[in-house]
Amino acid sequence: MTHQPAISISVSFQHPFNRAGGRTSDVSQKLMIWEAYQQTKIAEAERTADRAMSKADRYAADIADIRRQVDRLSLACQAMWELLRDHSDLTEEDIEAKILEIDGRDGRVDGKIATKQTNCTACGRPTNSTRSSCVMCGAPLTKEHLFEG
Ligand SMILES: [Zn+2]
């Protein structure tokens, strides 16, 4: 039997300030404050993430609603077009040309019906063409386009 020397490893962590005379408690206090600050920051980050997730959920629901509306409008447009085509001499080229002409009325062919500033016919003050009534006097406004938003 061979003699195994006993190996003892002793590790001690001592902050250098400890020897300098009672400053360890200052350091631990600072560490505790830092820890509390970090915990506050983590809690804030978690609340921000929660809010972002619920916002994302709301946007996803809005997008689903908008998709349903777009589908419904597409069906209505297709039905109207097919009825019109079947009861007239109009062709797909005619409707494409008309879409381009309406799109370009605001000076830009961008696939959008532009909103314009118009003057209220009742009070004469400027108002937005997307509104159904004047923001100043409440008079009903006539839209330039039947399907304008
Ligand atoms: Zn008005």
Q: What is the pLDDT of residues 57-107, one digit of tens each?
A: 999 999 999 999 999 999 999 999 999 999 999 999 999 999 999 888 878
The Å distance, Cα 138 to ligand 1 centre, comes to 6
In whole angstroms, what is the distance from residue 79 CA to residue 45 CA? 51
Question: What are the structure tokens assigned to 140, written together?
Answer: 């009903």
The Å distance, Cα 147 to ligand 1 centre, comes to 22
CA-nearest of 73, 68, 148, 90 to 116 is 148
pTM across the whole model: 0.53
CA-nearest of 147, 142, 102, 101 to 118 is 142
The Å distance, Cα 103 to ligand 1 centre, comes to 27
The yes-or-no verdict on residue 9 having pLDDT over 70 is no
Residue whose token pair is 């001690």: 12
For the segment 16-58, what is each residue's pLDDT rounded down to a tens digit?
455 545 566 889 999 999 999 999 999 999 999 999 999 999 9
Q: Which residue has the higher pLDDT, 56 or 140?
A: 56
Residues 6+ away with beta carbon under 8 Å from 100: 109
* Tally: H helices and E strands in the chain: 3, 2
Asked if 118 and 127 touch (Cβ cutoff 8 Å), the reply is yes
Highest mean pLDDT, choosing among 12-16, 27-31, 143-147 = 27-31
The yes-or-no verdict on residue 11 having pLDDT over 50 is no
In whole angstroms, what is the distance from residue 21 CA to residue 25 CA? 10
The Å distance, Cα 87 to ligand 1 centre, comes to 41
The Å distance, Cα 143 to ligand 1 centre, comes to 14
The Å distance, Cα 119 to ligand 1 centre, comes to 8
The Å distance, Cα 114 to ligand 1 centre, comes to 21
Asked if 123 and 139 touch (Cβ cutoff 8 Å), the reply is yes
The Å distance, Cα 112 to ligand 1 centre, comes to 26
The pLDDT value recorded for residue 25 is 83
Residues with CB under 5 A from ligand 1 (ion): 120, 122-123, 134, 136-137, 139
